[in-house]
Amino acid sequence: MSNFRYARQSVVRWEKRSNVRRRVLIIDDEADIREVAALSLETIAGWEVIQAASAVEGVRKAAEQQPDAILLDLMMPDVDGRTTLIRLQHDPLTSKIPVLLLTAKVQSYDLESLKDLGLAGVLPKPFDPTTLSDQISAALRWQK
Amino acid sequence: MSSDPEKTAKLEDLLNSAWREYRGDIQERLDAVRNACAMAQTGSLTDEFRAQANSAAHKLAGVLGTFGLKDASRIALEIETMLAPGAPLNPQQLVRFEEQLALIVQGIESRDRQALE
């Protein structure tokens, strides 16, 4: 294969990767936070956003819709983020989906135990809507 | 920040609409915290109302920060700490509580103006 042809194919592969329309599931009981995150990711990054208002709904939508990543609120009234993470990790349909925790409060020991459970990372809450997609991409090492 | 000014401007418009849409929810959380402050001043703040106000302050901190009100968000977190179960609430702290609430209200009113522009 000529160098040019090889280089062109590399560019095409890179373009395909960079144009991937990511799908992100947000699990948070606060509608306003979900809405701002969705507006941010759809407008700035052009990603598709799925919303879930509870852990139960989130686990079900994760299995059904197979998002590329899950943003999970730590403090929810029905089932908290830690328990939700365990449920996601124990289900073969969702165990491979990276989960990022959205929280204002994570003690270092909590963080370590959550990482042992398979947590991919933590995003601070409140988040900046103009940079949320950059933070997610950086945490998951996604190509932009 | 996004390097695309057009996308950032579009997002700002959408965030202003979202602020107007969810303004009632924000007011409910603010009222819960305000009521807890008033009840604490009269010595009638129950554990149940305190827990509700603590949760409301936590949610307020999250949503205000997400809408760009960083100072108000930080103050709401301070109030959340004040309202934590068992934390002391002496008269000096109650004065500070009220002052901090006034700052949060100022922040919300400035965001209201921004959302209407």
Lowest mean pLDDT segment, chosen from A113-117, B24-28, B45-49: A113-117
3-state DSSP assignment of residue B103: helix
CB distance A56 to B23 below 8 Å: no
CB distance A109 to A101 below 8 Å: no
pLDDT value at residue A8: 37
Strands, E assignment, chain A? 23-27, 48-52, 69-73, 99-103, 121-124
Residue with tokens 């996308």: B7
Interface membership of A48 toward B (CB under 8 Å): no
How large is the angle between the packed helices B47-66 and A31-40, nearest 10 degrees?
10
Q: Give the architecture-level CATH label for domain A21-140.
A: 3-Layer(aba) Sandwich (3.40)
Q: Is residue B63 part of a domain?
A: yes
Tell me the average pLDDT across B56-82: 95
pLDDT value at residue A15: 38
Helix, strand and coil in chain B, % to nearest 5: 80, 0, 20
What does the radius of gyration of chain B's CA atoms come to, in whole angstroms? 16
Short-list A19, A128, A26, CA closest to B65? A128
- Name the DSSP class of A98: -
Amino acid identity for residue A37 in this structure: A
Range of the domain at B43: 9-116
Q: Is residue B66 part of a domain?
A: yes
**Count of domains observed in chain B:** 1
CA distance B111 to chain A (A): 15
pLDDT digits (tens, 9 = 90+) for B86-113: 888 888 889 999 999 999 999 999 999 9
Chain mean pLDDT for chain B? 93
Q: How many CB atoms lie within 10 A of CB A18?
A: 10
Whether residue A35 and residue B73 make contact (CB cut-off 8 A), yes or no, is no
Whether residue B1 and residue A75 make contact (CB cut-off 8 A), yes or no, is no
Per-domain residue ranges of chain A: 21-140
Tell me the average pLDDT across B31-59: 94
pLDDT value at residue A11: 37
Q: Is residue B3 part of a domain?
A: no
For the entire predicted model, the pTM comes to 0.86
pLDDT value at residue A76: 87
Q: Facing residues of A100 across strands? A: A71, A121
* CATH number of the domain residue B66 falls in: 1.20.120
For residue B26, the chain A residues in CB contact (below 8 A) are 32
Please report, in tens digits, the pLDDT of each residue of chain A (144 residues total): 444 344 434 434 443 445 578 999 999 999 999 999 999 999 999 999 999 999 999 999 999 999 999 999 988 888 888 899 999 999 999 999 999 999 877 665 577 778 788 899 999 889 999 999 999 999 999 986
Q: Is residue B1 part of a domain?
A: no
ipTM: 0.89
